[in-house]
Copies of this chain bind each other. A is one copy, B any other.
Amino acid sequence: MQNFEFYSPTCFVFGKDTENSTGAYVKRFGGTKVLIHYGGGSVVRSGLLDRVKSSLDAESIPYVELGGVKPNPRSGLVYEGIELCKKENVDFVLAVGGGSSIDSAKAIAAGTVYDGDFWDFYRGKRIEKALNIGTVLTIAAAGSEGSPDSVITKEEGMFKRGASGDAIRPKFSILNPALTQTLPPFQSAAGITDIMAHLYERYLTNTKDVEVTDRLIEALLLTMVHEGPKVIADPDNYEARANIMWAGTLAHNNMCGVGRSQDWNSHTIEHELSALYDCAHGAGLAVTMPAVFTYVMNHNVMRFAQVATRVWGCQMDFEHPEVTALAGIGALRRYLKSIGMPGNFEELGAKEEDIPKLVEVLCRGDGRDGTISGFVTLNEDDCTKIYKMMV
């Protein structure tokens, strides 16, 4: 196991009606002037935004609002949010929504107390300082409610890039599984896929002898395998929603990824798809993961055989472990299809003729050197082949 530091100071407030405590938690963590940041649509229609505002009113905490966050959140709205926070002397950014609203809120919180262009953080500068952040989560997926990460897309060039730093870990996150019951099945499934991807990216490691984190990742994958179909069959199943929501947070606060190298090539390869086609990140991952895993499988067949037997219930073929490894990838593919995810470029809305452009941006964009690194280092030729496997 590698040396590591694990620091997850977010206070998670989990369960029914917990959004009514939002104001009390803003107060507990020192907020005196709030920016409420959200997308729109269901957060407004469902009355959630009003309940959050009432809870702030109850604590006499003033707020300003900025809605309009879109999936794959853009830098334009971040600049707008930073201006607003500076003008209004905001000291607490409250995201109400899913990963997009939270990631956008994190960028605003970091950018407000930074003299330069906030995009510097998304070109590799570590975030050391930010306004305090809180979240009210409406979809189990991105894990941003407990992570030090944010992903933003820059309109010019459609670059989708990530930034990190403990300073943007939320002070608190309110997780009410009932809020996810109104999600359409496709969004629920995309969230489940995203959570599973966070787990697979950590599972694909080159570090030896990391049983404890292997087992924890398998535990969370098993939870998704068993609880996922329940919420697709019955969106109002609170208990299944609750299991998925807590799994989604633990899948990405890095409790199960510490002390080991991680992959993240599936995310990197997918990011170009959702940046170009504006598809759901989870849907892109459903198409990307089986292709990437099949391509890199021979780098460590036993690792893929392990997840196949422990998570997917495949019988181990001791003479031919590669048969078991492939069976596990097949099981993942069938599972994703069963919950309604796309299985190829056409179902995703992507085009084969765009592959050269995708590979160019992926491997050469924003200062990259022609490769992407992770479980296996992949060059332009590798990435071309992987995209072609998705067609």
Contacts and interface: CB of A to CB of B under 8 A. Distances in A.
Interface of A: 1-9, 11-16, 18, 177, 208-213, 215-216, 218-220, 222-223, 226-227, 239-240, 242-244, 246-247, 250, 255, 258-259
A211 B243 contact: yes
A242 B14 contact: no
B211 A215 contact: no
A276 to B, nearest CB: 35
User: Can you tell how many copies of this chain the complex includes?
Assistant: 2
B7 A12 contact: yes
A4 B13 CA distance: 6
B1 A6 contact: no
A2 B216 CA distance: 22
Given A2-B15, A6-B14, A239-B209, A246 B220 contact: no
Contacts of A216: 216, 219-220, 250
Contacts of A177: 1
A259 B15 contact: yes
A247 B218 CA distance: 14
Contact of A13 (B1, B5, B243): B5
A219 B221 CA distance: 11
Contact of A15 (B1, B18, B209, B210): B1
B243 A209 contact: yes
Nearest to A8: B8
A239 B208 contact: yes
Nearest to A215: B219
Given A239-B209, A242-B259, A255-B255, A14 B3 contact: yes
B212 A1 contact: no
A5 B14 CA distance: 6
A232 to B, nearest CB: 16
A210 B239 CA distance: 8
A259 to B, nearest CB: 7
